[in-house]
Structure formats: C-alpha cells, structure tokens
Amino acid sequence: TKGTGWWVYGVKVVGQHYYHFPDVDIEADSYVMADDCFIVERRNKTTLVIKLDANTLNTERVVRVELESGDYFDDVTIIQNASE
C-alpha cells in the first residue's frame, strides 16, 4: 500500500469471523495473525502478505482480510476454488 496508517482488524473465512488475537499489537509496524487455515502478516508499514492452506473442501472458500485506517474500512477478498 502507499499509506502506512492501516491495520488488519479481522479475518473472515467462510463466514467464521476471527478478530481477537491477544498476542498481536495491531499498532506495530509488523505482526502475524494465524488461525485455522490462514496466516496474515503485516510485514512492514506498506506490505501485507496472506497465505492460505490448500482448500480441501468440496466448495469454494471465501477469505476476507479486513483493513482499517481511522474511520476508513476496506478488505481484501480471496476466493479459493473447490478441491478437485
């Protein structure tokens, strides 16, 4: 990103909302949020890295990484195809 004042405030995986990571300081320049099938890393003030496990479901998996900057909200949505 060009801006530096943003943070990840939640992750949704197929409707399951992950939003409380007690060991993560979302105001830090870098941090990692990991759970279930994902790893979301704020590598520095301008870089977001998202890693997902292989989708072994028989349906597509929708993952939404929710971002915030003050009163501005946005997200990154990833759609993984169903396993074959």
**pTM listed for this prediction:** 0.91
Q: In this structure, what is the dihedral angle of CA atoms 43, 46, 47, 50, given to the nearest 10 degrees? A: 100
Average pLDDT over residues 45-54: 96
How would residue 1 be classed by pLDDT, with cut points 50, 70 and 90?
Answer: low
Query: How would you list the strands of the sheet with 61-69, edge to edge?
Result: 16-18, 7-13, 61-69, 72-80
- Specify the pLDDT at position 84: 63
Q: Quick one: 63 exposed, middle or buried, by C-beta within 10 A (0-12, 13-18, 19+)? A: buried
- Specify the pLDDT at position 3: 83
Tokens of 25: 């300081």
Average pLDDT over residues 16-30: 93
- Specify the pLDDT at position 57: 86
